[in-house]
Amino acid sequence: MIDARDREIIEALQGGLPLVPAPYAQMAEILGMDEDALLYRLAELKSRGVIRRIAAAPNHYKLGMTSNGMTVWDVDDDRITKLGVRIGALPFVTHCYERPRALPDWPYNLFAMVHGADRDEVEAKRAEIAAILGDACRVKDILYSTRILKKTGLRLKAKG
């Protein structure tokens, strides 16, 4: 799916681009290639969906979004795709997935991450999700994060 050169490019860029006027030219030099060749490769990776977008990753906590709740829902299997798309499109939902249930411990199949300045704000947003799901949702819960135990970027390991 990706060749050795793509892999080198991904490894070099996964830490982010340098804050200089021509960041791709700088990275191309490190990689021993032309800037045009690097941009061409990146455009190709983007067209194949390996690169989703080129953007800044904000730090929620530093922006005052200190409360984060993983809302979980047991949604009718026949309706989850249609409803999931609507939940994922809400501006305050940062991640939204269908995942398998783990019965009997875990009846929930829809996970939507909600961020807010405090728990009241998160609860208000959660109520908006509940209103959209309506009777398609049987049981629901919310799990607040109380501590970050580990956070490393999702890094591609160097392959020998």
Partner 1 sequence: MKLDGTDRAILNLMQDDLPLVSHPYAAVAEELGIPESEVLNRLTRMKDGRVITRFGPFFDAAAMGGAFCLCAMAVPTEEFETVLTKVNAHAEVAHNYERTHRLNMWFVLATETPEGIVGTADAIERETGICVLRFPKLQEFFIGFRVAA
Binding residues among 140-159 for partner 1 as defined by CB under 8 A: 141, 143-157, 159
Query: In angstroms, what is the minimal distance from the CB of 135 to partner 1?
Result: 20
Q: Which residues contact 13 (CB under 8 A, 6 or more apart)?
A: 27
Pairing of strands 110-116, 93-98: antiparallel
Can residue 75 be called a binding residue for partner 1 (CB under 8 A)? no
Residue list 107-136, contact with partner 1 (CB under 8 A): 109, 111, 115
Closest to 111 (Cα-Cα) out of 68, 154, 72, 54: 72
Number of residues this chain uses to bind partner 1 (CB under 8 A): 78
Residue list 4-43, contact with partner 1 (CB under 8 A): 7, 10, 13-17, 19-25, 35, 39, 42-43
Q: Find the binder of partner 1 among 97, 118, 124, 132 (CB under 8 A).
A: 97
Q: Which residues contact 122 (CB under 8 A, 6 or more apart)?
A: 67, 68, 69, 114, 115, 116, 142, 144
Q: And the tokens for 47?
A: 């067209």
Of 39 and 130, nearer to partner 1 (C-beta) is 39
